[in-house]
Structure 1
């Protein structure tokens, strides 16, 4: 039997948290509800879920702080919040959140977002990358199996799943313009600047120091292009 997708709901409104759990349970997800960040964090340390749905306004901490602590774990993250400020959306995406839903919302919409994220995660599991494979470009080495980016110095960067998907698309098609849809795929969030935020974050991670030439070039009205040679090994 296929293992159920385990989802933790971290929400300070108990009625809403219960509603989310009940709705997801109807679609055969395994859910657990937590009313505060500390309780959720302790449970995550004991048993890591596949996906976390996190409210930004928690009674004991800012949800952004919880997301920051989870950003290097292999956990899908969906933000659910009544905070619609641009800074919250940008910061959540920069920390590796996969989606952002603003309250109020229809429970069925959340189910659709969860299913979309689950499909992406299953795709990674069903088609594992050869862990011995790597890509070298502009003095960097990217290891898809571990989502890590190394330079000739001790510095190492770990990419989020969304960043890794975007980088792989660019590495496979150097010197080709890729549209926003080609780069995002199912990583789309209801926020027009989501692609810009993720490209900006990826640029910071792959741009060699003292190199003023952007490796990811913006082609206005068309998309983005990786402008460097790529060697696979």
Structure 2
């Protein structure tokens, strides 16, 4: 499961972020100040850090310097909305800069984008006996090749890059078909059924009520 460290000194915002990200399928750890965050980062590896700038103890800029050698992507999430602050944060190495107040949907979309960009160098994706070689576009199941259509392949890769995360139907459609979602969920459903059957993922790809689908894989 993708693990995110939330560094935010305001308890209501911190808890809102934790609950929202957990519901989206992420594992979350929270820190209320920069010094606590540094201690946590020494003990545990994370896939992403959501970082406020104005913090007790070490501030966000100082913590970014601490995180950078660890090669963990950082998104600044802060009330400092001046252009100069954004430029400074991005030039220091932050992957994105979100100004408070923010919409949760936008935050989740930016988190997904950063994680996808950061992990785009992956060449092999796996789930159980299913393996995808991104360089050759070869799909294997139990070491045997499986033939997928272009859309089935893109759908599978989307699931594999977002394991244990609930994906909305509109996001699936817009990512795979590259056009605006108009409510025609049948296209998505049919393609999901086909890759489930072809790859034996009937139990792993589960429907999420009123949302879409999730590829589940136990750690």
Normalization by structure 2: what TM-score?
Answer: 0.55
Q: Which runs of 4+ in 1 moved over 3 A?
A: none
Q: Which residue of 1 aligns with 2:103?
A: 106
CA distance in 1 between counterparts of 2:89 and 2:117 reads 19
Deviations 1:99-141 (A, max 9, x none): 000000011211110011111123222369xxxxxxxxxxxxx
CA distance in 1 between counterparts of 2:28 and 2:10 reads 16
Normalization by structure 1: what TM-score?
Answer: 0.51
SS in 1 for 2:28: strand
Pairwise CA distance, 1:72: 2.3
CA distance in 2 between counterparts of 1:53 and 1:78 reads 5
Give unpaired runs (5+ residues) of structure 2: 126-219
Rate the CA distance shift 1:126–1:18 in 2: closer, same or farther, 3 A: farther
Report whether the alignment pairs 1:32 with 2:29: yes
Q: Which residue of 2 aligns with 1:9?
A: 6
Rate the CA distance shift 1:44–1:15 in 2: closer, same or farther, 3 A: same
SS in 2 for 1:44: helix
RMSD: 1.5
SS in 1 for 2:119: helix
Q: 1:76 aligns with which of 64, 73, 76?
A: 73
SS in 1 for 2:120: helix
SS in 2 for 1:9: strand
SS in 1 for 2:114: helix
Deviations 1:9-32 (A, max 9, x none): 000101101100110111100001
CA distance in 2 between counterparts of 1:127 and 1:56 reads 36
Deviations 1:190-214 (A, max 9, x none): xxxxxxxxxxxxxxxxxxxxxxxxx
**Number of corresponding residues:** 125
Q: Which residue of 1 aligns with 2:92?
A: 95
Q: Which residue of 2 aligns with 1:61?
A: 58
CA distance in 2 between counterparts of 1:126 and 1:44 reads 27
SS in 2 for 1:124: coil
Q: How does 1:116-127 map to 2 (within 5 A)?
A: 116-126=113-123
Report whether the alignment pairs 1:49 with 2:43: no
Rate the CA distance shift 1:72–1:102 in 2: closer, same or farther, 3 A: same
